[in-house]
Amino acid sequence: MSTILFQDIIFGPVKSRRLGISLGINLLPLNRKFCNFDCLYCECGLGNMKGRSTLPKAEQVVTALDLKLQALLAEGVIPDVLTFAGNGEPTVHPDFPAIIDAVIILRDRWVPKAKISVLSNSSRIDKAEIRAALLKVDNNILKLDSALESTVQLLNRPVRNTYSIQEQIQYMQLFEGKLIVQTLFVRGTFEGKTIDNTSEEEITAWIEALRKIKPRSVMIYTIDRETPVQSLEKIPLKELEKIARRLQDATGLPSTIAG
């Protein structure tokens, strides 16, 4: 099993399949996953928030980004996007809203054409301050791998035992279209159970949820590298394209595909 853990607060820039030249911002502990989900496909490996961990302080994040942007500019490198991602879920950082404000100031000062993206699992959008912060960024990218509770429990494995995807779908509607939904399609087995979020039942429920959420667009993708659960399979590009066409026909929503 291979895992990718970021060892810095600011990482990259890297060429992202979905975002272009991306400079990453990791608000999570270095060298350790820290997430309130435990997705079977997580490139950071399996495991979650158990145990003590130190998160970087807001000032450390701001200083590191400030220095990195100045160094990149000196080399003539301008990122397309500043992306909150890294070793887990960025919105669990207690200073997430303040860090968003500070990053917007730095972006405006050094790389005004760069977009700010947040890749989030959506789990904390029930908090008004998190929604307000996400509304300030260019690309508020929220996970919806399935609209079925049983699949979310099996595939995304939220830590909170009262977690409900139906509730999260209602919170997504509060963004009034100012969000991008990201869905990773995958098939496989885990501990004797079958996982397949491409089945007819899944796609029907997913399209119905997206009809309610009305996102600006939908990112459809599949696993790219080795996953911690070896039995997971990549979904062929043709199948992803078919799902995108069904979504477009049923709702008119645009999508991007990364196979």
Residues at the interface with ligand SF4 (CB under 6 A): 35, 37-39, 42, 44, 88-89, 121
**Please, are residues 181 and 210 in contact by the beta-carbon 8 Å criterion?**
yes
CB of 147 to ligand SF4, least distance (A): 17
User: Between residues 85 and 103, which has the closer beta carbon with respect to ligand SF4?
Assistant: 85
User: Between residues 49 and 69, which has the closer beta carbon with respect to ligand SF4?
Assistant: 49
CB of 30 to ligand SF4, least distance (A): 15
Distance from C-alpha of 139 to C-alpha of 19, rounded to nearest angstrom? 10
Closest CA to 175 of 144, 221, 220, 207: 144
List, in sequence order, the alpha helices (H) in 76-142: 96-110, 128-134
User: Between residues 5 and 98, which has the closer beta carbon with respect to ligand SF4?
Assistant: 5
CB of 36 to ligand SF4, least distance (A): 7
Distance from C-alpha of 41 to C-alpha of 203, rounded to nearest angstrom? 19
User: Between residues 83 and 251, which has the closer beta carbon with respect to ligand SF4?
Assistant: 83
CB of 57 to ligand SF4, least distance (A): 21
User: Between residues 91 and 251, which has the closer beta carbon with respect to ligand SF4?
Assistant: 91
CB of 67 to ligand SF4, least distance (A): 26
105 burial (CB, 10 Å; 0-12 / 13-18 / 19+) is: exposed
- Percent of the chain as helix, strand, coil, to the nearest 5: 35, 20, 45
* DSSP H or E stretch at residue 250: helix 237-251
